């Protein structure tokens, strides 16, 4: 089979497309014939050796995919030909992927492979942040930074579905227009506007929750835009800089700052993770939420897809079609 391989840490352009052996499933595993895979910002960090943990080279990047079951191990509950989506830390950018059966779900009727692949990581991240960490309620003002990115636009979609009031902050009119179309009540161009002042003006005094997958220079003004007792959820640092927050800002308004990492959330909060996943998959199956796919690439164009995400050009999800 063909697979994209990272042979040394570096930029996307160093990746190579190679012929590698087909995977073979053991008990509790299955092989999926990949039809679509989605790109996430952590994929860029992994191939550059800059993620929180390092994967020894060589490896095939990619963490979420959709396709058909090609082969099964013992006792995994799936059969060849089943339409499934799934996640793994690496391995998705290939014609076949080996997955644990517990990380695989059936694709609901009427959902195509691209939407199924694009749904997993970002929507789980955003929903855990909103539901379990931020405890967002109907009518709450929720500020989403990087609102047109993968996690950001998922947070916009889900907060709207939860009947919260969404203020979307992004870096261009094009990105903000997509956020408005997806239901954001208010928008802020944080490259041109005073983010803190606009948050306080548009929310009538301060937001209750900030969802921040961006970091950098946007975090502090967004935190300053929270109302008393607000919650700031940090999810990542796509801006390339980890911000240093002055604790007096937290003290003065009784703000809570919480971190949420999708890789360990289910281990740290098993009950909440199970509840959130059930609710999230029901919304997906019912058609209440669907990922916005802003760009598509072929398997041979995987490096270009990763570069597109690394350069913060993506709106919504970027999908690799594997044919």
The pLDDT assigned to 120 comes to 86
- Rounded to whole angstroms, how far apart are CA atoms 190 and 89? 32
Whole-angstrom distance, CA of residue 33 vs CA of residue 302: 17
Tokens encoding 77: 């509950």
- The reply to whether CATH 3.40.50.720 applies to domain 2-121+269-321 is no
Alpha helices in 145-298 (DSSP H): 150-161, 173-181, 195-203, 219-224, 247-253, 262-268, 270-285
Rounded to 5 degrees, what angle do the CA atoms 212, 149, 208 make? 30
pTM of the shown model: 0.88
Token representation of residue 304: 């270009």
pLDDT tens digit sequence for 220-262: 999 999 999 999 999 988 888 899 999 999 999 999 999 998 8
Candidates 3.40.50.2030, 3.90.1150.10, 3.40.50.10490, 3.40.50.720; CATH matching 134-259: 3.40.50.720
**Which pLDDT band holds residue 76 (cuts at 50, 70, 90)?**
low
Q: Give the pLDDT confidence score for residue 312 in this predicted structure.
A: 85
- pLDDT tens digits for 79-131? 999 999 999 999 999 999 999 998 999 999 999 999 999 998 899 999 999 99
What pLDDT was estimated at residue 240? 81
Residue range(s) occupied by CATH 3.40.50.720 in the chain: 134-259
Residue ranges matching CATH 3.90.180.10 in the chain:
2-121+269-321
Q: What is the mean pLDDT of the chain?
A: 94
């Amino acid at each position: 089979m063909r697979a994209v391989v990272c042979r040394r840490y570096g930029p996307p352009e160093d990746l190579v497309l190679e012929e590698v052996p087909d995977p073979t499933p053991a008990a509790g595993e299955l092989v999926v014939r990949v039809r679509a895979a989605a790109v996430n910002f952590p994929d860029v960090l992994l191939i550059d050796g800059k993620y929180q943990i390092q994967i020894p080279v060589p490896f095939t990047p990619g963490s979420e995919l959709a396709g058909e079951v090609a082969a099964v191990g013992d006792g995994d509950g799936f059969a060849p030909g089943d339409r499934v989506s799934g996640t793994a830390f690496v391995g998705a950018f290939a014609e076949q992927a080996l997955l644990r059966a517990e990380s695989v779900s059936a694709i609901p009727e009427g959902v195509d492979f691209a939407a199924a692949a694009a749904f997993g990581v970002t929507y789980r991240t955003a929903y855990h942040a909103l539901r379990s960490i931020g405890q967002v309620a109907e009518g709450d003002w929720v500020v989403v930074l990087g609102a047109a990115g993968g996690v950001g636009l998922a947070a916009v979609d889900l907060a709207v579905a939860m009947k919260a009031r969404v203020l979307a902050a992004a870096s261009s009119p094009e990105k903000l227009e997509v956020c408005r179309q997806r239901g954001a009540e208010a928008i802020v161009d944080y490259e041109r506007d005073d983010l803190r002042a606009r948050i306080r003006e548009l929310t009538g005094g301060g937001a209750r929750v900030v969802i921040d997958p961006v970091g950098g220079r946007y975090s502090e003004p967004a935190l300053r835009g929270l109302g008393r007792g607000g919650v700031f959820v940090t999810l990542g640092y796509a801006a390339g800089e980890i911000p240093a927050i002055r604790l007096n800002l937290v003290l003065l308004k009784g703000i809570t700052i919480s971190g949420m990492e999708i890789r360990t959330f289910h281990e740290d909060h098993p009950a909440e993770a199970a509840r959130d996943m059930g609710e999230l998959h029901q919304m997906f199956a019912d058609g209440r939420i669907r990922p916005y796919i802003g760009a598509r690439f072929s398997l041979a164009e995987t490096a270009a897809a990763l570069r597109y995400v690394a350069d913060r050009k993506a709106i919504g999800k970027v999908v690799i079609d594997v044919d």
